[in-house]
Structure 1
């Protein structure tokens, strides 16, 4: 919560009610953004009430004269606004309105229908001081509504307005006067004698009519402000805070921590458990139909990789109960046959695909953070049935014990180089037509987790099939290993061949695609037909050829595929040792047809999941380590790119994805390369921090060479991870009573951990610990146990 940073014009801080402190409405949740404003200089809190208004802006002003003809800035030009505290629902800013006065502005969002502020002004000079304060409510309503205007109720002046049928009310303590000009404003003079401090509280209510809202506003304004903020501070201390020595990185982690906690929401629905969102911005939060099914994708349910990332990067090991709630959000929707949807939403939304096996690994992490036989017993049976679904024939088309992906939501990445039909630089091959070492790794890890949970769950008989599955998966990784590329490769589902891509032919308009004659020993191929056109069409594709035994094959692809910005992709369902003819019907002369095969020799970061899962031999691990450190491989200034190439076909190939870098980072830790893991984590922090400084936002991904942000703003998978820093600093356990250290810090620079009032600084050469009562002591060498009451044990 503590912060010390000058606000810049680029900064934009999102504030919203905190799900850790109470229930939130999934269908009506007002979210705010805090930023600086020039001419006059002030701090503005802004929202759209979930697109029910064009904007609502709340901000204080100072006037230079009693007649309020001249507007001043809230702070002197040579005195910057300083952010001194930041939480998901709270921010505090210090400023200097006068040469002899200090000011503090605090914003607090207690729930989804209320915003509060407290303005404190103190005269530190030797002479009396009079300041003329105005609090502005600038509403631009939607199609139906009225701007804010003064409303007098007996001796009390309020501001009221309405947008899209939503009544709004502003109340300010101190007995202000309501004015229309230059904005709808509540104004009052503040006479301060030397040493005097004056505090004013503002309450903004959403959805309250004026008279009823006035009583509610008075009651809220009368609550002890400090008691409410103390509750926030205590909640904040129960979550570790990491502060690197570098200011850019430190601000990125502060911003990411606040953002991750703000993404928690609920409880809502039948399960009555908390859940998480992909993003939470002022244009979101309102459901016109009243039950949430019309929310945008960011509010429609996280996938398993997203929940795993939120838990692994921010919630564990210190909040296992909350991570367990997120896990329960998937299990609550499990079908009797064991199927779990890949992205169940709070309002019944579904991804209509089987969830990623990473769900089982999440359960294992929760158990490791808080070993509880009851939890193991509760989790084992549903996860055992879920894993059986993955090995069922529906997920394993060729029945070789190696299931296939069937939906991008299962992978957690929509920009795989050969498998993204929505990108013009991708072949657009169907993921279901290949077998992928990344999936094998997730299934292998799931088998290991369930094997470890079986004894405390009293299910030892399940260990034998789990070991058999794991053995088959490990054998497949070894068969797919390419020592030259230092990766296991995907192979075709039916042929188990990893062939380079090739262009088979092209055509303008309808007709037969010219093809090269079949060779005598040509390996079987699976064609991908790409149609480029100016508008969506319904072409028909006809393939004729022979299989490896010389038997005739024919396919008629008539179902229209999805149209993606000028192109559509057809995938052959069979493999052809000889493709004799390929004809396309129903195209205009301007359309273009291209026939390719996917390049299954192309490597990308997802193929290193077997390294994370511990499926490689020691020699193979060393090959991966060299690949990760080589400029010809993955080594880049701001993290590991998606594709290890010096000539990327698209910026997406150079994207640094936090989720996939976290997998690689954990693989480095498990391989004993902790300094390399710490260096990678620092580079991830740096890229995110530089983007945040430039733009005021974090981004979905970051360019590996430049650090420039890429993709959507302030989404979950773009937040730089915090929890790995605990392990790399040597911390293995955080409890309300102690901090457990097991290893020296792997960081090249000092890193500070704040936990329940204790400040622990670790450095390459020792460190210090400061206890809540103020005493400081040198950090003992690990292994050690730092007691929060002010002692440590070896």
Structure 2
């Protein structure tokens, strides 16, 4: 990683936390820290946490005292802070508080309950200098706790505090004294000759009581930090180091890998491989219930689409983590065959059917690992899960084309129209819609299951899977619209994609006379606009003619109406050939009633998923790519692809729907690569990187979304789906690392500079026309990039198709 230099004005915070790949972490009590480079009160280089909200704040920071000068504010440092190394659980930085004093701080988090620091002090002057260093700890405790205070255990002076069920303790090795600063602190005095170096070591531990915290801190300081650092570096070398012609891109890839490693946590004490959380910051990591069942959505599991995005960071570098992640889904399978959408490490369940992309991930895992035993063990459960999507609760009209149950299954939970928590008054019930996205996932899932069946020699379900795949592909082909050059949603029962049609309006309770017969059956949507926020005890009776010609009266109760702010919406469960009238009661005289048919001429990025699933012909894919995806009047923007094209007008100042959604864009990029559009994929990826670069310059953080027109970062920082997908970049560049002894070169490099990848002892230098590969045993080979090739240590490139 290139060194980073920071000015005190930059609001930089970097997380460090125990690395579950190196040592077990504790899922229900994981203390997570962040380095705050000066943006605090008092201004200081702070290591801080809240112990998972068990304290409003705990901060540890250094103060340097020389003669009558006292410095802790980074803005007053003679030389600003430089970060040298950053790993999941380790960070080293340097600075000069005075012109003559070099300081190197190394922070290391060995486990979930401790953090250690080694501080190297070097006198860079020609004179002997005497000075003091204080390490202060500012604890704002929870109720009934107390702040840090100096005390003694034997002849050792320590700082101890109390907050919630923790006893934070700071132990400075080497005979520290109580500091004289306004803050509780431990102080050491130094007299350094010219060029002399001395070292300070401290550890902070937080367990239930003082003896436990003290013993834990002491035991952590017995570790050899140089040996631990070497172990960290050695373990980290199992992941790729990417060097491009753009230092900001290099740093983005490196930072994304560090954060992904931080998101891995131990599921328990059973020795299983780590699982992944959605975010990891100081406010998280503590379960009040002591079992994790009270954790929020950020710590109670990943969805299959989250896991699929994670694979871009883990394969082939962390196959054990991927296998554990896949097992977490498979092991949540119910007797009905259903796999839960979000199985958590503590047994949490979302009680929703998982997005059907799990078999696809299993097959991708196998392509890297050749773990046939895993295929054989998982195949029956995967087939059962696939079939569960076609059961009555999910295929409501029994036509082999299922429907989503909730928007969260789509990966676009805040969809402007379908979201059950959104602000849009134009809400539609997603259960009433057939989605090309769902069918695309199921189609690709069926192909993956067929591949698995053939690989393990189990042909029992192949014919069934082939027939369903044909049905799914037929539905997606039928949803294509030439006039818009895009796939479309269609109604669950009528299988039509109709524009909205106003059917009637009125103010207040009473009858809305419609008396219309329709050429094509439609599904009515009833909306109530209230003068004030709040719900209404509305009862609605809809009189009409069903699709079969029978008379129907649909009674809509207050519980059936979905309310958002000052409006209520109801999507009819039925389609109608004709509607006579709508009778409404229980609303105010000033309230407005609006009745229209559903609007399925809406366009969002989920409609692009057939490209990812390899469904369109080459000709149709070309049309979709050029006229829709990469059309600046449609999805393409300066900073990526827009998530939504024709969203409703919400309140001003909320650019909620002009967003770039990285997981969806990554799947479109996969589709572009499949159809041979590597240069176009590189152009799209470069647009995303422009937004990422702006975000990293602002606060050295990734963000959940970016504004499509301005690149402005929006949403939570450093969550899983905010990270730039390293694996996608490598595939676009034309490099696929299979293992340390084998790579696949996928053609030329579409970027304007060579891409170098170092993986363990393997080095790949990929240029436009040729690729140099240096293998771990010292052999090297140069190959032309005129066609895809698999290269191995035999030095005999073979066709990738062989």
TM-score range (shorter-chain normalised) is over 0.9
Give the aligned partner of residue 800 of structure 2. Answer: none
Residue matched to 1:499? 498
Q: Distance in 1 between matches of 2:242 and 2:64?
A: 37
* Residues in 2 aligned to 1:793 and 1:464: alpha-carbon distance in whole angstroms: 39
Shift of the 467–679 alpha-carbon distance from structure 1 to 2, 3 Å rule, reads same
User: Helix, strand or coil for the counterpart of 2:589?
Assistant: coil
| Structure 1 unaligned regions, length at least 5 | none
Does the residue aligned with 2:555 lie in a helix, a strand or coil?
Answer: strand
Does 1:672 find its partner at 2:676? Answer: yes
Moved more, 272-281 or 290-299: 272-281
Give CA-to-partner distance per residue, 1:590-640, whole Å, 9 cap, x none: 544333333212222111111111111222111112122221122211111
Indicate if the aligned counterparts of 1:524 and 1:547 stay in contact, CA closer than 8 A.
no
CA shift in 2, pair 1:401/1:771, >3 Å: closer
RMSD over aligned Cα atoms = 2.6
Partner of 1:135: 135
Alignment of 1:16-165 (within 5 A): 16-37=17-38, 42-65=44-67, 70-71=70-71, 73=73, 77=77, 79-165=79-165
1:693 aligned counterpart, secondary structure: helix
Q: Which residue of 2 aligns with 1:186?
A: 186
Greater shift in the superposed pair: 735-744 or 49-58: 735-744
Alignment correspondent of 1:733: 737
Matches within 5 A, 1:204-223: 204-223=204-223
1:526 aligns with 2:529: no
Q: Which moved more, 1:434-443 or 1:19-28?
A: 19-28
Stretch of structure 1 that moved more, 236-245 or 501-510: 501-510
C-alpha contact (below 8 Å) 2:46/2:60 kept by paired residues: yes
Name the CA distance, whole Å, in 2 between partners of 1:87 and 1:210: 30
CA distance in 1, matches of 2:130, 2:774: 42
Quote the Cα distance in structure 2 between the aligned partners of 1:362 and 1:568: 40
Query: Where does residue 486 of structure 1 map in the other structure?
Result: 485
Shift in CA distance, 169/257, structure 1 to aligned 2, threshold 3 Å: same
Q: Is the 8 A contact 2:524 2:595 kept in 1?
A: no
Residue 702 of structure 1: CA displacement? 1.0
**Distance in 1 separating the partners of 2:183 and 2:372:** 62
Structure 2 CA distance for aligned equivalents of residues 554 and 464 of structure 1: 43
CA drift of 1:470 comes to 0.6
Deviation at 1:737, TM superposition (A): 3.7
Change (3 A) 1:619 1:74: closer
Q: Which residue of 2 aligns with 1:720?
A: 724
Tell me: CA distance 1:769–1:62, structure 2 relative to 1, closer, same or farther (3 Å): farther
Q: 1:389 to 1:292 in 2, by over 3 A?
A: same
State which of 650, 656, 661 in structure 2 corresponds to 1:652: 656
Q: Which residue of 2 aligns with 1:748?
A: 752
Query: What displacement does 1:213 show?
Result: 3.2
CA distance change for structure 1 residues 621 and 48 in 2, over 3 Å: closer, same or farther? same
Distance 1:120 1:41 in 2: 22
Deviates more, 1:121-130 or 1:72-81: 72-81
Local SS of the residue matching 2:540: strand
How far apart in 2 are the matches of 1:655 and 1:474?
A: 29
Q: 1:258 to 1:478 in 2, by over 3 A?
A: same
In the alignment, the residues of structure 1 paired with residue 12 and residue 231 of structure 2 have an alpha-carbon distance, to the nearest angstrom, of 26
Counterpart of 2:451 in structure 1 is 452
1:358: how far off?
A: 1.0
Whole-Å Cα distance in 2 between the matches of residues 340 and 517 of structure 1?
46
**Distance in 2 between residues matched to 1:536 and 1:692, nearest whole Å:** 43
2:325 maps to which residue?
Answer: 326
The answer on whether the counterparts of 2:110 and 2:220 sit within 8 Å (CA) in structure 1 is no
Residue 15 of structure 1: how far off its partner (Å): 1.3
**1:421–1:267: structure 2 CA closer, same or farther, 3 Å change rule?**
closer
Residue 792 of structure 1, CA deviation:
6.4
Partners of 1:275 and 1:716 in 2: how far apart?
13
Matching of residue 596 in structure 1 with residue 596 in structure 2: yes
Aligned to 1:427: 426
TM-score normalised to the size of structure 1? 0.93
Residue by residue over 1:192-215, the C-alpha shift from the partner in whole angstroms, topping out at 9 and shown as x without a partner, is 222322111110001153344333
Cα 1:575–1:116 change in 2 (3 A) is: same
- 1:368-420 deviation digits (Å, cap 9, x = unpaired): 11122212111211101111111223321112111111122221111334322
Following superposition, the deviation at residue 723 of structure 1 comes to 0.6
Alpha-carbon contact 2:528-2:591 (below 8 Å) kept: no
**1:428-472 deviation per Cα after TM superposition (whole angstroms, max 9, x unaligned):** 111111111111100000000000000222211211111101111
Change in CA separation of 1:104 and 1:41 when aligned onto 2, cut-off 3 Å = farther
* Alignment CA distance shift 1:178-1:31 (3 Å): same
Instruction: Give 1:227 deviation, angstroms.
Output: 0.4
Compared with structure 1, are the counterparts of its residues 253 and 135 closer, same or farther at alpha carbon in structure 2 (3 Å cutoff)?
same
Whether the 8 Å contact between 2:502 and 2:595 is mirrored in structure 1 is: yes
Tell me: CA distance 1:340–1:241, structure 2 relative to 1, closer, same or farther (3 Å).
Answer: same
1:319 Cα offset (Å): 2.0
Q: 1:257 to 1:528 in 2, by over 3 A?
A: farther
Counterpart in 2 of 1:440?
439
Q: CA 1:610/1:13 → structure 2, altered by over 3 Å: closer, same or farther?
A: same
| Pairwise CA distance, 1:423 | 2.7
Corresponding residue for residue 666 of structure 2:
662
The equivalent of 1:245 in structure 2 is: 245
| Distance in 2, Cα, partners of 1:502 & 1:111 | 61
Q: Does 1:295 align with 2:298?
A: no
The total of aligned residue pairs comes to 786
Q: Could you say what secondary structure the match of 2:588 adopts? A: coil
SS in 2 for 1:50: coil
- For 1:631, the equivalent position in structure 2 comes to 632
> What CA distance in whole angstroms lies between the structure 2 residues aligned with 1:444 and 1:704?
30
Does residue 285 (structure 1) correspond to residue 285 (structure 2)? The answer is: yes
Note the C-alpha offset of 1:239: 1.2
Greater displacement, 74-83 / 661-670: 74-83
1:53 is paired with a residue of what secondary structure? coil
SS at 2:495 equivalent: coil
Cα displacement (A) at 1:515? 5.0
Superposed, 1:335-734 pairs within 5 Å as 335-425=334-424, 427-512=426-511, 514-519=512-517, 521=519, 523-532=521-530, 533-560=532-559, 561-626=561-626, 627-644=628-645, 651-734=655-738
Deviation at 1:56, TM superposition (A): 0.2
Instruction: Describe the superposition over 1:503-548 as per-residue Cα deviations: whole angstroms up to 9, x where unpaired.
Output: 4334443333x45441563542332434545223432222111124
CA distance in 2, matches of 1:566, 1:26: 41
Does the CA-based 8 Å contact 1:768-1:779 persist in structure 2?
Answer: yes
Shift of 1:75: 8.0
CA distance, structure 2, for counterparts of residue 288 and residue 736 of structure 1: 44
Distance 1:520 1:75 in 2: 72
Q: Distance in 1 between matches of 2:317 and 2:554?
A: 55
Residue 15 (str. 1) matches residue 7 (str. 2): no
What do residues 276-314 of structure 1 show as CA deviations (whole Å, max 9, x unaligned)?
Answer: 111111111111111111111211221111111112x21
How many Å separate the matches in 1 of 2:771 and 2:420? Answer: 52
Taking structure 1 as reference, are residues 334 and 145 closer, same or farther at Cα in structure 2, changes over 3 Å only? same
Which deviates more from structure 2 when the two are superposed, residues 256-265 or residues 109-118?
256-265
Q: Partners of 2:302 and 2:443 in 1: how far apart?
A: 23
Q: Distance in 2 between matches of 1:182 and 1:779?
A: 64
CA distance in 1, matches of 2:518, 2:251: 63
Instruction: Name the SS for the 1:297 alignment partner.
Output: coil
